[in-house]
Structures are given as C-alpha cells and as structure tokens.
C-alpha cells in the first residue's frame, strides 16, 4: 500500500525550518541558504522518485537500503571526525553491519516487550519518559549553541540510526501474542464434547 502524501503545509513548514537551519549551520546569507535548501528539497524529491521506481522493479527493502545507504555516506563524509575516518574501510563496514544486526535484534526484543506493556507501564515510567523528552530538547539547545543549528546533532544521531533502521526494516518477527491459543485447554474442550478433529 502506497504511503499517504505529505500535506503541503507540512512541506512548507519543513522547508522554512530547513532554510533557517542551513543558513545558521553553514553561515550562508538568506538568498544562498534559500537556493541550497531548494536544491536539497529537489534532490530529496528525485531520490524519492528513484526509490519508488526501484521498489517497483524489485524489492522495496532493497530500495530502502540503497537510499538510506547513500544518505549515510553523505552524512559520514560531512560529519565523521578524523579519528573515525582513519580506520580502514573494512572496519567501518563491519561496524555498519553490526549496527544493522543490532537493529534486527532490537525489533525482535521490541515485539516481545510490546506484549507485556499497557497504559500502566507508561504511567509507572512517566518521569523517565519526560526526562528523555527534556534531554532531547536540551541536546537540541546545546547543538544550537555549539554549531548554530541542530543539523549536526541530527547527523550524529543518523550515523548509527540509519544502519539500525535498516536492520529494523529487514527483520519481520513472528510475534506470538499472549492471547494466542489461550481459549482453553485440551481437557476443557474434551469436557464439553468437542471432537479431536476440531
């Protein structure tokens, strides 16, 4: 099923936000930042069309891997510190593969965990959830002070996040929900006269 189109007002808000962040992050004037933001949005549209065409010709998972891999490479070349670039490409590739497997493992754990939570679980941990949200806001503020933009912070989050998301997409766990096969025991069905063939 095709994804729903993004409303135009959301696109406009995202464009203005990105325009502001590009101007602050790269130190360009308003006109240059506008042109660069426009190029970025047009590039994203081309990549999205490429992904749709690739998904139509083959596997959607392959399209997701290729587009996310290309984005990861751009972010790596932009933000990776010098000591990280000093490692051989084989070590970097092995680390990315490990993160991908970690993402697949995380999805398995998530579906197991999902069976045992309810609204009370979130209420019992509301302070932790609020603390995490406030921590994310604080990290955005620190990034704005240090770099003048939150784009570098987002880039550092995406460096491990993109390989993790690839592993998450690649794994399709078979969750056994707690209400599966719990309608009664074999003895109970025999007591009410149910046939063994049922």
- Is residue 27 a contact partner of residue 21, using CB atoms and an 8 Å limit? no
Whether 23 maps to a domain, the answer reads: yes
Residues 54 and 107 in one domain: no
Does residue 127 lie within any of the structural domains?
Answer: yes
The alpha carbon of residue 29 and the mean position of all alpha carbons in its chain are separated, in whole angstroms, by: 31
Is residue 190 situated within a structural domain?
Answer: no
Do residues 94 and 20 share a domain? no
Residues 115 and 168 in one domain: yes
Could you tell me if 114 and 174 lie in one domain? yes
- Sites in the chain below the pLDDT cut of 50: 1-2, 175-181, 198
Clarify whether residues 174 and 85 are in a common domain: yes
Residue 71 lies in a domain: no
Same domain, 93 and 157: yes
SS3 at position 40: helix
Q: Copy the structure tokens of residue 90.
A: 């084989």
pLDDT value, residue 98: 92
Q: Which domain holds residue 23?
A: 1-58
pTM over 0.75: no
The CA distances from residue 173 to 24, 63, 112, 182, in Å, are 42, 21, 9, 21
Q: How far is CA 143 from CA 11, 21, 146, in A?
A: 24, 11, 5
Q: What's the CA gap between 78 and 40, in Å, rounded? A: 15
Residue 95 lies inside a defined structural domain of this protein? yes
Size of the chain, expressed as the number of residues it contains = 198
Residue 143 contacts residue 153 (beta carbons within 8 Å): yes
Q: Are 149 and 142 in contact (CB under 8 A)?
A: no
Give yes or no: residues 114 and 53 share one domain.
no
Per the domain annotation, does 189 fall within a domain?
Answer: no
Domain presence at residue 73 = no
User: Do 86 and 171 fall within a single domain?
Assistant: yes
Q: How many Å apart are CA 68 and CA 60, to the nearest integer?
A: 12
pLDDT at 79: 79
Q: Distance between CA atoms of 32 and 38, rounded to whole angstroms?
A: 10
Q: Are residues 123 and 173 in the same domain?
A: yes
Count CA atoms closer than 13 A to 71's CA, side-chain side: 24
Verify that 32 and 111 share a domain, yes or no. no
The tally of domains found in the chain comes to 2
Give helix 151-170 / helix 60-79 axis angle, nearest 10°. 150
């Amino acid at each position: 099923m095709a994804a729903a189109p993004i409303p135009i007002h959301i696109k406009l808000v995202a464009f203005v936000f990105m325009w502001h962040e590009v101007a602050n992050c790269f130190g360009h004037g308003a006109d240059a930042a506008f042109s660069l933001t426009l190029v970025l949005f047009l590039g994203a549209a081309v990549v999205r069309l490429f992904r749709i065409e690739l998904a139509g010709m083959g596997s959607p998972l392959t399209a997701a891997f290729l587009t996310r891999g290309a984005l990861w490479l751009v972010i790596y070349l932009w933000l990776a510190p010098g000591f990280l670039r000093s490692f051989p490409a084989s070590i970097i590739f092995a680390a990315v593969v490990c993160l991908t497997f970690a993402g697949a493992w995380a999805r398995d754990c998530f579906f197991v965990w999902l069976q045992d939570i309810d609204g009370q679980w979130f209420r019992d941990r509301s302070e932790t959830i609020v603390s995490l949200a406030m921590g994310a806001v604080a990290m955005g503020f620190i990034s704005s002070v240090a770099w003048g933009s939150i784009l570098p912070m987002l880039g550092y989050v995406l460096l491990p996040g993109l390989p993790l998301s690839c592993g998450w997409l690649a794994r399709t766990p078979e969750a056994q929900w707690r209400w599966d096969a719990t309608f009664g025991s074999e003895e109970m069905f025999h007591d009410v006269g149910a046939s063994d063939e049922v």
